[in-house]
Chains A and B, each alone.
Chain A
Amino acid sequence: MSKTNPSLVPSGRSLSLLGKANLQQYVVYLGFLAIFLFFAIVLRDSGFLTVRNLSNIVLQTAPVTIMAIGLVFVLSAGEIDLSIGSIVAVSALAGAVAMNGYGITAGIAAGLCAGLLIGLVNGVLVAYVRLPSFLVTLATMGLFAGVARSLTDLRSIPVTNSAFTGFFGSGTLLGIPSLVWWTVGAICIGHIVYRHTRFGAHVLATGDNNRAASVSGISVPRIRLTVLMMSGVLASLAGLLYAGRLQAAKYTLGETDLMTVIAAVIVGGTLLNGGKGSIIGALVGSLMMGMLNNGLILMGLSVSDQMIVRGLIILAAVAVSLREKSR
């Protein structure tokens, strides 16, 4: 509409809110930039700025980014999925065992099916039995961490199929590493589904006000089931990416990722209580977490110090982004 609409009166109040909304969206980018500049200066002689190191950060972050996409959908729908770390381990192990026995197709299928099935269990319990997702996925997190341990008796399973390790790990296409293709592809698809489809709109409405969604004809249980299944499949894809890059599967894969993924998603502008989020923000958030990991290692901090510093920075980042949002 080009002519001025008398009904659309601008008000000072809404303009200032608009300003705040923009600032809030930029917090993650500012934080990313600040951490990048800090490491670039402090670690200028330690190789932080080399192409090799920077691309390593992107490659190492790929599984977290993939999981973060799933979590954006889950949180936006007003639910949570704490079981993603365990799904990573179970999927990687199931995939590796099946591949060593029956070949690459069976391996990929087994890995993805593991995530799909765990997501289905989570989803049915949350959507149709109406148990809180926090408790359901807390339980399945523990349950499948145990399954991962018992699956191969704590042993590590080698992944030697070169087609697999190329496709999911060290390979390149057009000179670009496969992990970058996975990241870019998943982010693009995730963003389009989230922002530009009816499903994405219904996920947001469900997390925002499930009663409003329901009286508007949206099947709230179906949305809840779908996001938890998506999260399961994406976590199992992350498991396959780990297995491909490390050329081995072990029960410890994904063990510490839950906190990183949640932090990446929250810092990236997704609300913990649903109704609002960003896929691109989650990408920047997880790159920020990856950069933090990398920089702290290059700075020579001990593992325990790394954990403490990372925890504090995540706390600060989350506090800032939540503070911006609550206004």
Chain B
Amino acid sequence: MTVTDVSPVLKLTDIRKNFDAVTAIENFSLDIFPGEIVALVGDNGAGKSTLIKIISGVYAPSAGTITIEGETVTMASASMARAHGIEVVYQDLALADQQTVYMNMFLGREPVNRFGLLDRGKMISDTEKLVQELDVRIPSAHATIRDLSGGQRQGVAIARATHWASKLILLDEPTAALGVAETAKVEAIVQSLKTRNIGVLIISHSLDQVFKLSDRICVLRRGKQIGIRKTSETDKNEIVSMITGVN
């Protein structure tokens, strides 16, 4: 990238989330800039997935503001986040298992012809083009999701997110279930998003991956934001001690 964009694509200010008595997130603030990859790390139960669901409109924050390209938004539902160009790959993949790959690719956004009927031909050819571009190895666009392997499903979820995102992609442990080759493929896809000037927030438990991909690293511990570091100015030891709270 030659030009550095000064205004963040996403700005979180003092976000808090309570589940009844449990505080899952407290006072979380973060800016994500276009073309930037930010990694979100922390132990199990730290609140990472909760944070992603707040950004994507699944949960409403108990306090704090979300600003997208300078505009403060109340993310009332997942479709609002999508309308703002935000796409998510959820930890528990949000795929409809008994439907085809192409139906999942277009879930909620199915194209119709001039008679108002589903344009399956377009869905199928777009899906085939996409899986070829991203080199997602699936038997066919017609395959049913539940007949796919874990890696293939992940591929479908990522292909869907990258296809529709225009500003920001949130990835919740996208490679947790993948083999070495598939992981490398997903990492390449994530890196390629930079050239499209899309912001990325990626959750990962693999510090190798985090250091390979990210521009900045944000650490959460039991809902508290411990700190944000530039990846080039920190090392694994520092991040590990931030995650665990042990020096």
Query: A residues bordering B, Cβ < 8 Å?
Result: 1, 5-11, 13-14, 17, 21, 192, 195-198, 200-202, 204-205, 208-209, 211-218, 271, 275-276
Contacts and interface: CB of A to CB of B under 8 A. Distances in A.
Contacts of A276: 98
B139 A275 contact: no
Closest 3 CB pairs of A and B: A217-B79, A216-B108, A208-B96
B78 A216 contact: yes
User: B interface, how many residues as a size bin?
Assistant: 35 or more
B140 interface: yes
Contact of B94 (A8, A21, A196, A216): A216
Given A197-B117, A197-B118, A217-B78, A8 B128 contact: yes
A275 B141 contact: no
A197 B125 CA distance: 18
A213 B110 contact: no
A8 B88 contact: no
Interface in B107-155: 107-110, 112, 116-118, 125, 128, 131-132, 135-141, 143-144, 147
A8 B56 contact: no
Contacts of B116: 197
A196, A204, A276 — which one has the most chain B CB atoms within 10 A of its CB?
Answer: A196
A218 B106 CA distance: 12
A1 B128 contact: yes
A5 B140 CA distance: 9
B150 to A, nearest CB: 14
Interface string B85-114: 000101000111111000110011110100
B77 interface: yes
A21 B140 CA distance: 15
A200 B103 CA distance: 12
Nearest to A13: B147
A218 B138 contact: no
Contacts of B143: 14
26 contacts: A7-B132, A7-B135, A8-B140, A11-B139, A13-B147, A14-B140, A14-B147, A21-B144, A195-B118, A196-B117, A196-B118, A198-B110, A200-B118, A205-B96, A208-B96, A209-B94, A209-B95, A211-B94, A212-B94, A213-B96, A213-B108, A215-B90, A216-B78, A217-B108, A218-B108, A275-B97
Contacts of A214: 78
Contacts of A275: 96-99
Nearest to A208: B96
Contacts of A212: 94-96, 104, 107
Interface string B51-71: 000001010000000000000
Nearest to B107: A216
A147 B43 CA distance: 59
Interface of B: 56, 58, 77-79, 82, 88, 90, 94-99, 103-104, 107-110, 112, 116-118, 125, 128, 131-132, 135-141, 143-144, 147
A271 B146 CA distance: 15
Contacts of B112: 197-198
Contacts of B139: 8-11, 14
Nearest to B133: A7
Given A215-B78, A276-B98, A205 B107 contact: yes
Given A8-B131, A13-B147, A204 B137 contact: no
Contacts of B95: 209, 212
A202 B104 CA distance: 11
A212 B96 CA distance: 6
A271 B96 CA distance: 14
Contact of B118 (A10, A201, A218): A201
Contacts of A9: 137, 139
Contacts of A1: 125, 128
A204 B95 CA distance: 12
A212 B117 CA distance: 22
A195 B77 CA distance: 27
Given A217-B77, A217-B82, 16 more contacts: A1-B125, A10-B139, A17-B144, A17-B147, A196-B117, A198-B118, A201-B107, A204-B96, A204-B98, A205-B96, A205-B99, A212-B94, A214-B78, A215-B56, A216-B79, A276-B98
Nearest to A196: B117
Nearest to A17: B147
Nearest to B142: A18
A216 B160 CA distance: 11
